[in-house]
Amino acid sequence: MSTIPATQLTTAPQDTRRTLIEVRDLKVEFNIRGGVVKAVDGLTLDIKCGQTVGIIGESGCGKSVTARAILRMVPKPGKITGGQILYYRVPRQKKLAGSNEVEVIELTKLDPDGEVIRQIRGGEIAMIFQEPMSSLTPVYTAGTHIHEAVSLHRLLPLKTVGDQMVERITQYRKVTREEAREIAVQMLRRVGIPKPEQRVDSYPHQLSGGQRQRVMIAIALSTEPDMLIADEPTTALDVSIEAQILDIMRELQQTANMAIMFITHNLGVIASMADEIVVMYMGKQVERAKVVDLFYNPKHPYTKALLQSVPKLGPKTGQRLASIEGMVPDPLHLPTGCVFHPRCPAFIAGKCDRHVPNWVQVGDNHWVRCLLYEE
C-alpha cells in the first residue's frame, strides 16, 4: 500500500546552505485615509536553506506584512512600493530530476494572482498562521485540506524507472485521491496526531486547538516546501502544546533542510528556534544578529530594552519589571530622525531627533541601525 515515500526530495550536500530568499530594501506602504503608513521601510534580509530566521517586534511593527509580502499577499490597500525580493528557485520538476539549477525569480515583479506565484505559494513557500481555530475551512475534513494542497503542488513520476535511476524522469503527474489520502495520513502521523487514520476524516470543530495547528503544519509541509513562514504559530496555544509544536517544526526542518521564517513577539520561543534574529520597530529593522550575539551582546537600545522587559526568575525578584517608556508612536506621524528616539534611554538631543541612522555593521554578521554606532 505504501508506495509513496515519506520524503521525496533529497538535497545534494553542496546546496544545503545556499541562499533561498534575499530581501533588498523592501518597502510596503498602506495608503489609507489619514495618509501613508510605512508598514515596512527598508528591510534587508537573507534566508538560507535549513536556516531559521526569527523576526521579533511589537504588534504592528511590520512583521506579518513582511511575511505576506514574500508571498505577495499584502492585504489591501497595502502595496510594495520599493525594493526587491529575490527568490532563488529550483523548480520542482528539475529538483525531482536531481538537478540543482537555480533560477532567480524577483517575487516583487510577479503578478500577485498569476500562475507562477500560485505555484510558489504552498508548493515552495508555505505559511502557517497565528489562529489555528479559524485557519481551516469548517466544511472540510483535515484530509480534504491536505488533499487540496497536495493535489495542487505535489507531483509524482509518471512512470517508475526502477532503482537504478539511469533514465531521467521528465514527466510527472498529479497525485490521485487515494495517494493524497495516504499522504495525508502520513503527514498527520508525522506531526504527532494520534490515530491519524481516523483523524484524517475529522472536521475542524472535532479537533482541539493544538491538533488544528498540527493539521495546519501538516498541510504546509505536505508539499515539502523549501521554506516555511510561521506567523506566530504558537501564540494562541498553551505552553505545553507550544513546546510540542516547536519540537515538531525543528524536527521536520532537520529532515527536510527547510528554511523557516519565524515571526513572533515571544523572546523565549525565538531564542530556542532561530539561528539569526531580526528586530523590527515601526517597520524598520533596528538590529540583525546571530541569536547568541543578540541575546548576549545586544547593541540597539530598543533590543536592550526589549530583553530587559522579559520577566526573569532568580534572586532579584523584588524589583519591578523593566518596561520601555512611552508609547508606540502614531504610524501616520512618525518622529523625525530615529523613530525610536522619544522612547530611547540613550537619546542624544540634537542628534537622534535630526538624523536618520544608517544600517551599519558592528560585528561579524551583526548589523544595527543606531546613531550610537555611527562615526
Contacting positions for another protein (CB under 8 A): 71, 73, 113, 118-123, 126-127, 129, 131, 134-139, 141, 148-149, 152-153, 198, 201-203, 205-206, 216, 219-220, 223
Cis check: omega of the bond before 5, within 30 degrees of 0: no
Kindly state the smallest distance separating residue 27's Cβ from another protein, in Å: 22
- Closer to another protein at the Cβ: 120 or 291? 120
Q: Which is nearer to another protein, 72 or 300 (CB)?
A: 72
Kindly state the smallest distance separating residue 74's Cβ from another protein, in Å. Answer: 12
Taking the least distance from each CB to another protein, the nearer of 126 and 289 is 126
- Least distance from C-beta 190 to another protein, angstroms? 18
Compute the least distance from the CB of residue 148 to another protein, in Å: 7
Given the complex with another protein, which of 118 and 304 has the nearer CB atom? Answer: 118
Looking at the Cβ atoms of 44 and 144, the one nearer to another protein is 144
Q: Is the Cβ of residue 62 or residue 123 nearer to another protein in the bound state?
A: 123
Smallest gap from residue 218 Cβ to another protein (A): 12
Q: From the CB of 51, what's the least distance to another protein, in Å? A: 21
